[in-house]
Amino acid sequence: MPDLLTAMNPPQAEAVQQIDGPLLILAGAGSGKTRVLTRRVAWMIRECKVAPYEILAVTFTNKAAGEMRERIESQLGKVEGLWVSTFHSACVRILRRDIGHLGFDSRFSIYDDSDQERLLKEVLKQLEVSERDMKPRAAAAAIDAAKNRGLMPEALTGTDPQSELVAKIYKRYQQRLQQANALDFGDLLLQTQRLFDEHPKVLDSWRQRFRYIMVDEFQDTNRVQYNLVRSLASGHGNLCVVGDDDQSIYSWRGAEVGNILGFERDFPGCKTIRLEQNYRSSQTILAAAQALVDRNDNRKKKELWTENPSGEKLTLETLPDDIEEGRYIADEIVKLQRSGRKLRDMSVFYRTNAQSRVIEESLRGQNLPYVMFGGVKFYSRKEVKDILYYLRLLVNPVDSVAAKRVINTPARGIGAATVGRIAALEEEAGGFLAACSLAVERGALPKAASGKVAAFVALIEEFRTHLETQPYPQLAADLIEAIGYAEQLRIEKTEEAKNRLENIEQLLAGMEETAANLASLQEYLEQVALITDLDSYDPSLDRVTLMTLHAAKGLEFPIVFMSGMEEGLFPNARSIATMSALEEERRLCYIGMTRAMDKLYLTHARRRRMFGSYQYNPPSMFLGEIPAKMLDAVAPSPALRHVGEHNLASLFEQVGGEGALVDEFSDDHDDVRMIPDAEAGLRLGMQVRHAKFGVGAVRRIEGEGDHQKVIVYFKTAGSKKLLLKFAGLEPA
């Protein structure tokens, strides 16, 4: 058996052997936390004789969970009873066993975002709420935010008409979910917490089972996830959390960096171990990223270091516009490929998906293959989803969203009017499928429609009888032929139909592959529902990877291009409102930089086409926070001279401020209002002093005369928009 402490540095070895009590492992970027986590589990089982079924290890992606399990079993061999899973998967397993206490059936469906939106449209219609007053997506966002905070509908307080409306919609939405025996993603966590809160004996049984709990990526937990692990760990206190507050970037979906910052306070007697040796990046990349993130105040201090070589300086390139930026990136990739680098070694990051189009066009122009996160996922394609909805309905016949989707798919002559008549009986019947039968029995439908609806119900009931006796890949294949889905595509004989048919064949092949491990159709549908983009990432394909900075977390590449390094884009315009938002943007930049192993490119454009018009934004303030000695000065861009030391102001001066852009792009100057630097003696990047807020840098100047306003970033107070006439600013 391998020595579990081999090739581990002292803090890593200490973390592996620290088993009992609360433990906080602050794991810096690239510090080998997965090795620590997996060997810690192996140490518990092999050296401390902890039973595998007493351990719960949770993380945030199926990919990470799979990698953890593989590494553990490489140390110990096959391990039975050990739970290594995502939060959502763990909660599904708990709910499958105990959700009956909450009035649901264990065969519940899991609704994705599109199911949620479809159901909310019905709820708004039922409540006679116009989409002008509340759009389904807005309602979904408000409900998700409440669930992330652990709030059920009755806990929402309506302090204004809009809040009262959200509470009303949320309450009705939850009623409809329960009628459909369905949970959305937020419910998987929230209903588990509700189960533990309302049924102490259920909590106690799970708490006794899981005597040791480990949580990866703890900085990404929301309020409910924190409450869940705290509930399970109460009593024995054997909770180990691993994370890095410098990599907390998901506040927009409910993550609370305070969970990791306050862990030592919430768990008295907690031991803290810092993993600060980086094994991924060159010394130069690491030092540049450290200098950046050190600007944040709300963080636990860590000093990352590495024994890796110094490596190359960061390449900082200024391009005239986004088209030239895309061409530059593609040209550099070609040069790197010719020098012997593999395409799979390279990745291009961007702050928003809208930036990818120009980069894609440039890569295609050079015939460079690429793979992009955030495209249409396989399981989201129409034909695949149609079949999955049929299968969902077989498992959970009260799933009304699924029933409405497939009743006329493929077309069988059941129109919207017929569906409306059936839906009117849905509440009484206890589901849409049951309402179909009730409508036929009562003669509520025209004769032709009645026959077609009856045939649809008979089809579903017939296939439901084979659920327990027939392997689900064969059941699905028979269903596809019985409804004529494949035959209809064969008749079309178009290229699109051919592709859709191939997707269906791929779906069936995937079922065959998983049937050995996932014996039931319910297990298969559950796995599909919880799949993410990252789970389909295949690093063996020799292609350039394109992705947003948020998607890049958890990955690493020898060569990274970070594009669009401009004010208003990155950091984005919304983040200037508060210090906490700006610090999260800086953490996102830090994550992007620390994905790079050998070489890091930083690019920005003087003008960028966004939403149909040109934006002229100065370089990102983050560029000014990287020490100049770490930037490549061998072939400086004419637009951005290298200087011995620089700050944000010097970067602005080098590109000439916004005023300089009028000359270069005079044909487009009407697209933006340029403010001459001479007005009021201010210029972009200039250091100024305010009586209340202290010293700051000018980031934007708007308007003119008495109405002129200035946005200044103050280190102590964040960004402030001031009326220049009364601001009392002085040169710093």
What's the confidence (pLDDT) of residue 3?
Answer: 86
What's the confidence (pLDDT) of residue 656?
Answer: 34
User: What 3-state DSSP class applies to 206?
Assistant: helix
pLDDT for 682 beyond 80: no
Are 635 and 525 members of one domain? no
pLDDT tens readout for residues 251-283:
888 889 899 999 999 999 999 999 999 999 999
pLDDT for 585 beyond 80: yes
Are 14 and 47 members of one domain? yes
What's the confidence (pLDDT) of residue 676?
Answer: 31
> What is the C-alpha separation between 606 and 321, in angstroms, rounded?
6
> What is the C-alpha separation between 692 and 624, in angstroms, rounded?
25
Q: Write down which residue in 601, 617, 651 finishes a domain.
A: 651
Q: Between these two residues, 84 and 509, which has the higher pLDDT value?
A: 84
What's the confidence (pLDDT) of residue 513?
Answer: 81
Letter for the amino acid at 705? Answer: G
Grade residue 432 by pLDDT with cuts at 50, 70 and 90.
very high
Are 51 and 143 members of one domain? no
What's the confidence (pLDDT) of residue 681?
Answer: 58
Mean pLDDT confidence for 700-726: 75
What CATH number corresponds to the domain at position 480? 1.10.486.10
667 within some domain: no
What's the confidence (pLDDT) of residue 647?
Answer: 40
Are 207 and 71 members of one domain? yes
Are 521 and 581 members of one domain? no
Q: What is the mean pLDDT of the chain?
A: 86
C-alpha count within 13 angstroms, C-beta hemisphere, residue 133: 14
Are 270 and 283 members of one domain? no
Q: Between these two residues, 626 and 379, which has the higher pLDDT value?
A: 626
Which residues make Cβ contacts (< 8 Å) with residue 416, sequence separation at least 6? none
Grade residue 664 by pLDDT with cuts at 50, 70 and 90.
very low
pLDDT tens readout for residues 405-414:
999 999 899 9
User: What 3-state DSSP class applies to 161?
Assistant: helix
36 within some domain: yes
pLDDT tens readout for residues 621-637:
999 899 989 998 434 34
What's the confidence (pLDDT) of residue 728?
Answer: 78
% residues pLDDT > 90 (the chain): 60
Are 169 and 214 members of one domain? no
pLDDT for 155 beyond 90: no
State which residues form the domain around 686: 675-732
Q: Write down which residue in 180, 215, 236 finishes a domain.
A: 180
pLDDT for 700 beyond 60: yes
pLDDT tens readout for residues 160-190:
788 889 999 999 999 999 999 999 999 999 9
661 within some domain: no
pLDDT tens readout for residues 334-376:
999 999 999 999 999 999 888 888 999 899 889 999 888 765 5
pLDDT tens readout for residues 11-32:
999 999 999 999 999 999 999 9
What CATH number corresponds to the domain at position 296? 3.40.50.300
Are 609 and 627 members of one domain? yes
3 within some domain: no
Residue 715 φ/ψ region, left for φ over 0, alpha for ψ in the -120 to 50 degree band, beta for the rest: alpha
Are 351 and 478 members of one domain? no
Sign of the CA dihedral running 541, 547, 553, 558: positive
Are 310 and 272 members of one domain? no
Percentages (nearest 5) of helix, strand, coil residues in the chain = 50, 15, 35
Give the number of domains in the chain.
5
pLDDT for 380 beyond 90: no
Residues present in the chain in total: 732
Which amino acids are annotated catalytic? Answer: 33-34, 216-217, 247, 595
Mean pLDDT confidence for 49-53: 95
Determine if the peptide bond prior to 539 is cis (ω within 30°).
Answer: no
Q: Write down which residue in 161, 180, 199 finishes a domain.
A: 180
What's the confidence (pLDDT) of residue 535?
Answer: 64
pLDDT for 134 beyond 50: yes
Q: Supply the DSSP symbol for 251.
A: G
What CATH number corresponds to the domain at position 115? 1.10.10.160
185 within some domain: no
664 within some domain: no
What's the confidence (pLDDT) of residue 26?
Answer: 95
252 within some domain: yes
> What is the C-alpha separation between 407 and 422, in angstroms, rounded?
11
Q: Among 231-235, 483-487, 703-707, which is the least confidently predicted range?
A: 703-707
DSSP string covering 537-603, please? --TTS-SEEEEETTTTTT--EEEEEE---BTBBTTBGGGGG-HHHHHHHHHHHHHHHTTEEEEEEEE
pLDDT for 527 beyond 90: no
C-beta separation of 169 from 139 below 8 A: yes
Are 513 and 544 members of one domain? no
100 within some domain: no
Are 550 and 510 members of one domain? no
pLDDT tens readout for residues 227-245:
999 999 998 999 999 999 9
Mean pLDDT confidence for 475-492: 90
> What is the C-alpha separation between 686 and 731, in angstroms, rounded?
8
